[in-house]
Amino acid sequence: MEMTENIGKILDKTRPRIKFKNRNEQFCLQVSEYKFNMFRLAKSILHNNTDAEDAVSEAILKAYTNLDTLRSMKNFKPWIMKILVNESYAISKCRKRIVYVDEIKAGEEPILNDNKELWNLVKNLEEEFRTVTILFYYEDLSLKEICRVLDLPMGTVKSRLSRARKKLKEIFDEGSSKDE
């Protein structure tokens, strides 16, 4: 990903050295590994490709400038996802009144997802349920990591996930009973 390499080169000259060996390489590898996941999560919050790209770019930049606050690279995914969620919500607040043409189009395609019917059901959930569902099932974050990413108590995350499952089941059952 050229963008992360360029960010690393630009910022490397102005940042003090931190404890990670080859931090630029590690950072770029991690960002490359999670870039599609990050875009999918941002898009689920913002419903717009351009805003999602902006959120991902801003999250990467903030993550790089604050890389020294990351205690271990093992925690990179939940850490950058939390930054991304915060950026996505910040962009969402700024652009509440704008309606984009691509939001009006029907039938958006999911990113790297074979089950389009399930993805369509998930993306139509209310935001609080959709975000938890995507983090848990699509991003494979643990409940504990989701709590950290969203700054929510464990009980809230569990109940939102449970309610999301229940809503998805109800919607799916309604759809399959109509087909019969």
pLDDT tens-place string over residues 96-139 = 655 454 444 444 444 444 567 778 788 888 888 888 988 888 88
pLDDT digits (tens, 9 = 90+) for 38-96: 999 999 888 888 889 999 999 999 999 998 888 888 889 999 999 999 999 888 887 76
Domain range annotation of the chain = 1-105, 108-180
CATH T-level fold of 1-105: Rna Polymerase Sigma Factor; Chain: A (1.10.1740)
Cα of first residue to Cα of last residue in the chain, in angstroms, is: 47
- Which listed CATH number (1.10.10.10, 3.40.50.460, 3.30.420.40, 1.10.230.10) goes with 108-180? 1.10.10.10
* Residue pair 157/118 in contact by the 8 Å Cβ criterion: no
Distance CA 56, CA 54 (A): 5
pTM above 0.85, yes or no: no
